[in-house]
Structure 1
Amino acid sequence: MMQIEVPRDQYDQACELMQKRIDSGQVPDAQPGDDPRKYVKKGTFTYASAHNIAASGTIESLCVDLGTGIITSSIPTGISVVIVFSIAIWNGEKPAEAAKAGLVTGLKVFGKGALIYTLTIQLSRSKLAISLTKTYFQSGEFKDVATIANPAFAISEKVASSVSTSALAKSSIGKSIRLDKVTGQLRLVRSRRLLYLVRIFVERYAVEFQPSNYLRIQQSALLASAVLYWDRS
């Protein structure tokens, strides 16, 4: 039987319950007296922490979302650095200046990307924590923070549903960019990557574009599009 992961603080109790199941013959291919630890895995988080991660506004969920945001922002950060550095070189800037421009842009994308991701995921959780409130089991042990329904979740899901069922989403173009798979959560995060890269591209270099640079512009756009498509896939 596959191992069952249980909350960290309930591991000993879970092993005792599994031992009873093993001894009573309820576990397939297990013999009475077998070690229950073969079938029970101690989880990373406690029961309360797992509950708190799933609710917006808790320390646990903010830490997890920020950490994930940092990871996901590394992709658009790398793309931004490469594009800005390349265009700067093509426009005649020195390598040191081009590298500086690329790094500055990358830091902006990284910071804003992580922040936007964290905020987006926080707003998309179905439960919102009530500050400084706690709930308890009947035994009196701490369970988790009290929560209420998150109004932002309901709004985002409603908007996502209208987009995914629209005529555009059902068209070949809409399906190619996965509009029919839109949810109230990750699509917002992915969409801001493209929008933010386009903004940087236009704001920094639109004034410098000359007819002689059109080929370079096309090369940069193709590079960005290829990497973004790979990321989306």
Structure 2
Amino acid sequence: MRLLLVEDHVPLADQLVASLSRQGYAVDWLADGRDALYQGKSEPYDLIILDLGLPGLSGIEVLKQWRAEGVSIPVLILTARSSWSERIDGLKVGADDYVTKPFHPEELQLRVQALLRRSHGQVNQPLLKSAGLQLDEARQCAINLGEEVQLTASEFRLLRYFMLHPQQILSKSHLAEHLYDGETERDSNVLEVHVNHLRRKLGRAVIETRRGQGYIFGAGDQ
């Protein structure tokens, strides 16, 4: 899943990028509201974490313009603990959730996880479930027929994306856009290797190839 973090406090941003990356997210970071306004409209993010006190253009104004222009990406706002009015203003203009500073990294992790699941019609429960599989996001492993299956970091990221988009045809280019940040070189051949590794670990039927179109996860459950 690809996230955009908009935060002008560099030490906090560095901490969040490192933490979210360890959780298997591809993270782009911006510090200016004007840059965020453009990038949020032009890149296919799965979720945006938005600070409200930004240089250039306030977070409230950025979010207001995104929603006015039809950007429906889930947005989690970061606000100061004492500023209840900011939280209300953010929710009024289209924020999906908020976290008040200072916050524990695990709180942000769980709110991001819950928002992503909700935005894809998944119930927020301890384990992500799809096509007969379970995914433990905390431990980054799968459970198949009661057996724990170890995953590499890349396999975990790919499987989580598949499980949040069951029975949908996903092209290699689409997957690359959502699994890598803006600075990482995208190689469709590498994705094919990871898909084949998942098939060996979970069963070939779980991911079907649609020639000329891409992959579909859980097609047999239709």
Q: TM-score, normalised by structure 1?
A: 0.22
Question: In proportion to residue count, which structure has more helix?
Answer: 1
Calculate the TM-score normalised by the size of structure 2: 0.23
Q: Which has the higher strand share?
A: 2
Higher Cα radius of gyration: 1
